[in-house]
């Protein structure tokens, strides 16, 4: 199975990059499954129903969230009728929406998409390890589904790495989101799970993690907020990770970073090109 995960889409610039590149990737790379993190898609904070549909129309099969899940208040309502929208599974009991979803892939197979949020330097919600374990036990790879993608939305790279090893052999891909900077540690772990600490953001990298530089710089240098954070509006880089799995096991065989457009050096999966 060919899987593409697209890192945090930030604002209008990020959405434009998804619309520009994703349909071509789906076609040219014969992608079976596309997962997009959309928690910053609406003006840098949260997601709306219209944007959710826009990302699906561009080729996403599922959309994951994170700590900004409810910044657009309408998400609390429309998530109940949005089966492909996944918020962190370790949010408190009774939170609207779902922490995982089953989707039919473009080649007619089944995939589990799971979202969880870290606790180090973040709001300490329920134990993400226990939440992920419950989901993996309830829907095991190979027995119940053909692929499992875990989006771990987290600040600390150590906690992301721990989740990667915790899931090794039980998920097709564990990928980190939230910090908006792509890491260079993409690898297939010993148990066969593809792993990358952070997929990076899909947004304008002439920015401070996707935001116009002036207000973050002012706060860092003076400690005084003087306005809202606004998403940078320059040409975005689509950042993510490409994974190819073994159809017999659901585990990863290949992994590569994906970067195209904007300021970052391009990176495309050679095993799907040419």
CA distances from 35 to 6, 92, 188 (A): 6, 24, 19
Annotation says 68 is catalytic? yes
Structure tokens at 244: 């190819």
CB 199 within 8 A of CB 239: yes
Dist CA 195 CA 116 (whole Å): 15
Q: Which of 231, 256, 240 minimizes the C-alpha distance to 200?
A: 240
Dist CA 179 CA 183 (whole Å): 10
- The phi, psi pair for 271, rounded to 5°, reads -75, -5
Scan for tokens 């710089």, then name that residue: 217
Exactly one of 68, 153, 178, 180 is catalytic; name it: 68
Residues with active-site annotation? 68
């Amino acid at each position: 199975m060919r899987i593409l995960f697209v890192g945090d889409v930030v604002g209008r610039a990020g959405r434009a990059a998804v619309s520009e590149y994703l349909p071509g990737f789906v076609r040219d790379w014969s992608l079976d499954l596309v997962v997009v993190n959309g928690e910053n898609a609406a003006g840098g904070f949260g997601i709306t129903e219209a944007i959710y549909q826009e990302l699906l129309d561009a080729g996403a099969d599922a959309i994951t969230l994170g700590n900004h899940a409810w910044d657009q208040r309408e998400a609390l309502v429309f998530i109940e009728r949005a089966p492909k929208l996944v918020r962190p599974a370790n949010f408190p009991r009774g939170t609207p929406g779902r922490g995982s979803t089953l989707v039919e892939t473009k080649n007619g197979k089944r995939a589990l998409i799971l979202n969880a949020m870290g606790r180090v330097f973040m709001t300490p919600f329920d134990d993400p390890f226990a939440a992920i374990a419950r989901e993996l036990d309830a829907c095991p790879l190979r027995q119940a589904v053909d692929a499992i993608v875990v989006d771990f939305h987290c600040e600390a790279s150590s906690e992301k790495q721990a989740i990667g090893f915790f899931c090794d052999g039980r998920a097709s891909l564990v990928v980190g989101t939230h910090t908006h900077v792509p890491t260079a540690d993409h690898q297939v772990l010993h148990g066969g799970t593809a792993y990358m600490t952070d997929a990076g953001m899909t947004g304008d990298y002439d920015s401070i993690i996707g935001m116009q530089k002036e207000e973050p710089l002012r706060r860092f240098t003076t400690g005084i907020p003087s306005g809202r954070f606004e998403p940078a509006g320059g040409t975005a880089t689509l950042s993510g990770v490409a994974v190819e799995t073994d159809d017999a096991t659901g585990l990863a065989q290949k992994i590569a970073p994906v970067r195209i457009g904007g300021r970052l050096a391009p990176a495309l999966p050679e095993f799907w090109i040419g």
